[in-house]
A and B are shown apart, each in its own frame.
Chain A
């Protein structure tokens, strides 16, 4: 079974630009979550999508958005990039439904550098 695939793995942008990151979950997984990881803040939850609906959201500004498609693939977008957005963005998929225990399976991440 293929794992969680994130593209691109590395990217460099400049301040003010926008970026779109993609995540393909494990086949059959309906939940996709996004996390931002930085040395100073650790792992911070961005949002979770389940069956194309945003089910949970972290405390990030509106510049961070996401969506999920009918095939469970997900994208996240960051607009008007700031230097502080430089981070490793991790996607995780799960079979999580209501009341399930939901083990997360992580991709290798997309490392974004903002100059």
Chain B
């Protein structure tokens, strides 16, 4: 069975501080992993994806994520957040033509 767990439903952080949003997955086969961001009243847009190769993946807006197969994790990081990063972030797993989304993490960046 495939599943994605986002460990934090909300993450408050001050502007210019680093942030890590945690994602763990469960799958018995190789997977493709994604992070999506959703700004208020909008659809989701892709931040980054891991398909194969280097385990450190860089995405848009200064975000990066590290694939850790032994810990079945795909945590999202940014060294210095901005107010405009306030949004909801979704981790997703893809295989066998299906996507499995986590429950989302709301990142609230405070001035």
A residues at B contact (CB < 8 Å): 4, 33, 35, 42-43, 45, 48, 50, 55-56, 90, 92, 96, 98, 101-109
CA gap between A101 and B97 in the complex, in Å:
8
Q: Is the CB of B90 within 8 A of A103?
A: no
Q: Chain B, 26-56, contact with A by CB distance < 8 Å: what is the 0/1 string?
A: 0000001010100001111110010100000
B contacts with A: majority SS: strand
Residue on A with the closest CB to B99?
Answer: A104
CA distance A4 to B46 in the complex (A): 14
What's the count of A-B pairs with C-beta under 8 Å?
A: 53
Give Cα A12 to B49, complex, Å: 36
By secondary structure, the A interface counts as strand
B94 touching A102 by the CB < 8 A rule? yes
Contact assessment for B104 and A42 in the assembled complex, using a CB-CB cutoff below 8 Å: yes
Taking the closest CB of chain A, its distance from the CB of B107, in whole angstroms, is 16
Q: Find out whether the CB atom of A101 lies under 8 angstroms from the CB atom of B32.
A: yes
* Contact residues in A for B101 (Cβ distance below 8 Å): 35, 42-43, 45
The reply to whether B99 and A45 contact each other, CB–CB distance below 8 Å, is yes
Pick the contact of A90: B43, B98, B102, B103 (CB < 8 A). B43
Given contacts A56-B98, A106-B36, 6 further A-B contacts (CB under 8 A): A45-B99, A45-B101, A50-B97, A90-B44, A104-B34, A106-B45
Which residue of chain A is the closest to B101 with respect to CB atoms? A43
**Residues in A neighbouring B97, C-beta threshold 8 A:** 48, 50, 55-56, 96, 98, 102
Given contacts A42-B104, A55-B97, A56-B97, contact A106 B32 (CB under 8 A): no
